[in-house]
Amino acid sequence: MSDLHRRSFMTALAAVGGALPLAARARAVPQKDAATIVSTWDFGAAANAVAFARLKAGGSLLDAVEAGAMVPEADPTNHSVGLGGYPDRDGHVTLDAVIMDDAGGVGAVAALEDTVHAISVARRVMEKTPHTFLVGEGATRFARDQGFPQQSLLTPDAEKAWRDWLKTADYRPEANIENRRPLGDARDHDTIGILARNAGGRLAGACTTSGMAFKMRGRVGDSPQVGSGLFVERGVGGATSTGVGEEVTRIAGTARVVASMRAGRSPQAACEEVVRHIAQLRGDAIRGMQVGFLAIDPAGRVGAFCLLPGFTYAVTDAAGRTVVHPAASLFKS
Ligand code: SD4
């Protein structure tokens, strides 16, 4: 981090809990109509389109979020989800995913290998097992036994990036993990979290990722963990997260966002509260790291907030119109 970045971070940090700096002021989500589908990052727009079509075709909310999450999972150019994800430091691509409805349905997998559609395996865990969460070899075997096609998820591009990384093997879980591009560069495509809502205010969500690039083998992030990467509660709202998973997991981030909504805050205010909590709790330790939350309530109000500029999210309304918004951030850099 440059001195300039450091100064701006310190100034913003000093303001946490007090008057917020200019950059931190919540920008109202320019939304005339209630949202039907929201998802993280600009590539969420393509996921929303597929999820929306599934809803229109009579699919359930779970069908919609699963179908949406499958879009980046199948995209080999997206290096943080599914096929083409960057591997762990030993060269294995391992996937984490969770799917959840607002009636207590939950399925998750972590450290899944050789199956592109981790979200579908997560759904199968929910629907075909007495469990909510399978990990590692057991998850991989379950996917195979369920008939999911098996293939290597390591693409030539991702393997090259890993081999380049091995030259220094310097692990820095910063917002821009490759540390080569400006923060917020459109190519910094991360984990997808997607939330869907129907006219009756019922909710479901999904979150899927290959996790932090070059992580330790066996590392599991926030994404597949209920209450960290995703949380949905009937009559209250849903939330999903992206960014450095450890910073979300240590405070059960999305469970907190939803708890804040339960206490009466809007989705926007709830996301802001939890981002500020992370900054307050972690201080200097989260310098340069990104964490973003995205939330929706049963009325279709949307909120998003993050630590650093660069987090975007896609909102689709009941007519199928999608707009990608930049989230307001606590820090300027
Ligand atoms: C993780 N939250 O595994 C995910 C990855 C991510 O920006 O969103 N990276 O920590």
Which bin fits 283, alpha (ψ -120 to 50), beta or left (φ > 0)?
left
Task: Say if strands 291-296 and 312-317 run parallel, antiparallel, or are unpaired.
Answer: unpaired
The reply to whether 6 falls in a domain is: no
Residue 203's CATH number? 3.60.20.30
Residue 23: CB atoms within 10 Å: 17
Q: How far, in Å, is the centroid of ligand 1 from the Cα of 290?
A: 9
- Considering the domain boundaries, does residue 18 fall inside one? no
Q: What separation in Å is there between the alpha carbon of 96 and the centre of ligand 1?
A: 10
Residue 149 domain-assigned (yes or no): yes
| Cα 119 from Cα 121, distance rounded (Å) | 5
Angle at 247 between CA 74 and CA 174, to 5 degrees: 65
Distance 254 CA to ligand 1 centre (A): 14
Q: Which residue's CA is the closest to the ligand 1 atom numbered 3?
A: 211
Q: How far apart are CA 96 and CA 118, in angstroms?
A: 7
Containing structural domain, residue 150: 27-329
Which of 94, 155, 191, 322 does the annotation list as catalytic?
Answer: 191
With respect to residue 191, please indicate whether it lies within any of the assigned structural domains. yes
| Ligand 1 center–CA 191 separation, angstroms | 6
DSSP reduced 3-state for 320: coil
Index of the ligand 1 atom closest to the CA of residue 229: 2
pLDDT of amino acid 190: 72
Element (H, E) at 269: helix 267-282
- 16 domain residue, yes or no: no
Residue 42 tokens read as 């600009």
Tens digits of residue pLDDT in 298-333: 999 999 999 999 999 999 999 999 999 999 999 988
Using CB distances shorter than 6 Å, the residues near ligand 1 are 80, 190-191, 209, 211-212, 221-223, 242-245
Q: Which structure tokens are listed for 113?
A: 């290998």
CA distances from 38 to 42, 46, 216, 240, 247 (A): 11, 11, 31, 10, 22
Name residues whose C-beta falls within 8 Å of residue 328's C-beta, 6 or more positions apart in sequence: 23, 24, 25, 26, 27, 304, 305, 306
Ligand 1 nearest atom to the CA of residue 40, by list position: 8
Determine the residue of 174, 191, 219, 294 to mutate for testing ligand 1's pocket, defined as the one with the most ligand atoms within 8 A of the Cβ atom.
Answer: 191
Å from CA of 190 to ligand 1 middle: 7
Residue nearest to atom 7 of ligand 1 (CA): 243
| Best probe residue, ligand 1, of 209, 216, 312 (max atoms within 8 Å of C-beta) | 209
The reported pLDDT for the residue numbered 32 is 57
Number of Cβ within a 10 Å radius of residue 291: 28
Q: Which residue type does 157 have?
A: D
Judge whether 10 lies within some domain: no
Residue nearest to atom 5 of ligand 1 (CA): 211
Residue 122 to residue 207: CA distance in whole angstroms: 10
Predicted local distance difference test score (pLDDT) of residue 174: 58
**pLDDT tens track, the chain, 333 positions:** 333 333 344 334 343 433 333 333 334 444 457 999 999 998 899 999 999 999 999 999 999 999 999 999 999 988 889 999 999 999 999 999 999 999 999 999 999 999 999 999 999 999 999 999 999 999 999 999 999 999 999 999 999 999 999 999 888 775 544 433 444 444 455 789 999 999 999 999 999 999 999 999 999 999 999 999 999 999 999 999 999 999 999 999 999 999 999 999 999 999 999 999 999 999 999 998 999 999 999 999 999 999 999 999 999 999 999 999 999 999 988
The model's pTM? 0.89
Write out 211-222 in H/E/C secondary structure: CCCCCCCCCCCC
Note if 132 is an active site residue.
no
Distances (CA, A) of 17 to 257, 274, 275: 17, 11, 11
- Residue 89, number of CB atoms within 10 A of its CB: 16
pLDDT the model gives residue 6: 39
* Residue at 15 is within a domain: no
How many domains does one find in the chain?
1
Q: Render pLDDT for 50-60 as a digit per residue (tens, 0 to 9).
A: 999 999 999 99
Residue 8 lies in a domain: no
Identify the residue whose tokens are 């206490």.
263
| pLDDT value of residue 12 | 41
